[in-house]
Amino acid sequence: MRALLEMLEQRHPELYVCLCDETGAVRRHINVFINTEHMRDRAGIETPLADGDEVIFLPAVSGG
């Protein structure tokens, strides 16, 4: 997962700043799913990715 975020930072910095904060951590309001599992239920940003894995960045929705 870390390698994917580093690639996004290099290739799409405007997207990266929406996903990660200045420390490189995924922003609190962004949910990240790898296949069907939430990243936090695995190894977080250190979760290894395999060929064919699907990564979904999903902003949290809240309000009233």
| Average pLDDT value for residue range 8-14 | 97
pLDDT at 31: 96
Written as six digits, the tokens of 26 are 């995924």
Q: Are 42 and 11 in contact (CB under 8 A)?
A: no
Assessment of whether the complete model's pTM goes beyond 0.95: no
Domain range list for the chain: 2-59
Confidence tier at 59 by pLDDT (50, 70, 90): very high
Nearest CA-CA partner of 17 in 58, 38, 8: 8
Tell the CATH topology of 2-59: Ubiquitin-like (UB roll) (3.10.20)
DSSP sequence for 1-62: -HHHHHHHHHH-HHHHHHHB-TTSPBPTTEEEEETTEEGGGTTGGG----TT--EEEEE---
Residue 5: per-residue pLDDT: 97
Percent of the chain with pLDDT over 70: 98
Instruction: Say if residue 63's pLDDT is above 90.
Output: no
